[in-house]
Amino acid sequence: MNGLSKESVTWVEVDEGSCEQRIDNFLCKHLKGVPKSHIYRILRSGEIRVNKKRIDQTYRLQLGDQVRIPPVRVAEKPVAEFVPANEFPILYEDEALLAINKPAGTAVHGGSGVSFGVIEQLRSARPQAKFLELVHRLDRETSGVLLLAKKRSALVGMHEIMREGNSDKRYFTLVLGQWKNAKQHVKLPLHKFDTPQGEKRVMVREDGMASHTIFTLQKSWTDFTLLEAQLKTGRTHQIRVHLSHLGFPIAGDDKYGDFARNKALMKQGLKRMFLHAHSITFKHPLTDAVLNINAPLAPELQHFLDKLDGQS
């Protein structure tokens, strides 16, 4: 393998950005270009030492740990693609957490045909940040509250909060049709699959993952209903698939929606999916203070609601 050889042993002191990270994940990040199989081989061989002691791949690094990394052959780095530095509207920020109002049409991270997303642009805009990671994800076409962690301890804490269902995430969505119930619990199991074209999709299926959404009626028009969706579980495309399955597809949804109606809606000014993460409430993972973070409805969505009000 062509590459640059690191001829000498390297010692790395663990800072806050790597604290609590597993040693194998730390090495994958630190030794970019080295195959994972080789990283696990040098871990098993005992060449990697922490505080001069052998460790296994599950060891979690502690602040101040001294990591011994032996000489390894590193593949030459490909020329990195340019990532524009970009900040997004900040809804909340402290030393541990950052909440932004993500615009529709922007992916949260690069991959699957997208060169870069929110996280890469923020890292480019904040080169001094030692640590910046997504706490959760939003679909590319969904706008609203997106949480990021500025400390590993905050990321680990937020993941535990979300895993145990101790966060309250709510969305506004406009659906086609007249929803009747003021409040409705929807529990439909969801199954992920790939289309023949390689696209990731989700469908309701008996053997799928348990999924629970609470829908609350906000406002009705002749052909549309505005709902608030409260997520009790966080499955991929959960709100979109639950609504589509019930016969109330989200206006503008290009995966699970009514494609003929979507075309007509574009002519009426709605050029995106009407799904907006409007609020999240949780206890701060480091201070225990209750946080309620809200994102105002995107202007193009508010404008469409105003048009509906004008026609009624």
DSSP codes, 25-74? HHHHHHTTTS-HHHHHHHHHHT-SEETTEE--TTPBP-TT-EEEE---EE
Query: 139, 194, 207, 306: which one is catalytic?
Result: 139
- Residue after which a domain boundary falls, among 27, 46, 75: 75
- Check whether residue 138 and residue 229 sit in a common domain: yes
Domain of residue 54, CATH code: 3.10.290.10
- Check whether residue 39 and residue 154 sit in a common domain: no
Q: Is the pLDDT of residue 4 over 50?
A: no
- Residue after which a domain boundary falls, among 75, 98, 113: 75
- Check whether residue 56 and residue 197 sit in a common domain: no
Structural domains counted in the chain:
2
Q: CA triplet 205, 256, 111: central angle to 5 degrees?
A: 95
- Check whether residue 154 and residue 245 sit in a common domain: yes
Amino acid at 3: G
Contact 277, 234 (CB under 8 A): no
User: Percentage of the chain surpassing pLDDT 90?
Assistant: 68
Mean pLDDT of the chain: 90
Domain range for residue 129? Answer: 90-311
- Check whether residue 224 and residue 247 sit in a common domain: yes
Determine, yes or no, domain membership for 113.
yes
Q: How buried is 310 (Cβ within 10 angstroms: 0-12 exposed, 13-18 middle, 19+ buried)?
A: exposed
Q: List C-alpha distances in Å: 193 to 149, 183, 201, 204, 247.
A: 30, 30, 5, 11, 21
> What pLDDT, in 10s, does the model give residues 94-140?
999 999 999 999 999 887 667 889 999 999 999 999 899 999 999 99
> Both ends of the chain: CA-CA distance in Å?
68
Determine, yes or no, domain membership for 82.
no
- Check whether residue 219 and residue 185 sit in a common domain: yes
Residue 176 CB contacts under 8 Å (≥ 6 apart), including other chains: 223, 224, 248, 249, 250, 251, 257, 258, 261
- Check whether residue 304 and residue 160 sit in a common domain: yes
- Check whether residue 131 and residue 250 sit in a common domain: yes
Q: For residue 12, what are its two tokens?
A: 């790395």
> What pLDDT, in 10s, does the model give residues 280-299?
999 999 999 999 999 999 99
> What pLDDT, in 10s, does the model give residues 31-44?
877 888 888 888 88
Q: For residue 274, what are its two tokens?
A: 């009407």
| CA 123 centroid distance within chain | 15
- Check whether residue 16 and residue 161 sit in a common domain: no
- Check whether residue 48 and residue 155 sit in a common domain: no
Determine, yes or no, domain membership for 83.
no
- Check whether residue 151 and residue 250 sit in a common domain: yes
| Per-residue pLDDT band at 206 (split at 50, 70, 90) | very high
- Residue after which a domain boundary falls, among 50, 75, 100: 75
Strand 143-149 with 275-283, pairing: parallel
Q: Tell me, what's the pLDDT at 19? A: 81
Residue 139 bears catalytic tag: yes
- Check whether residue 261 and residue 293 sit in a common domain: yes
**Better-scored residue on pLDDT, 94 or 4:** 94
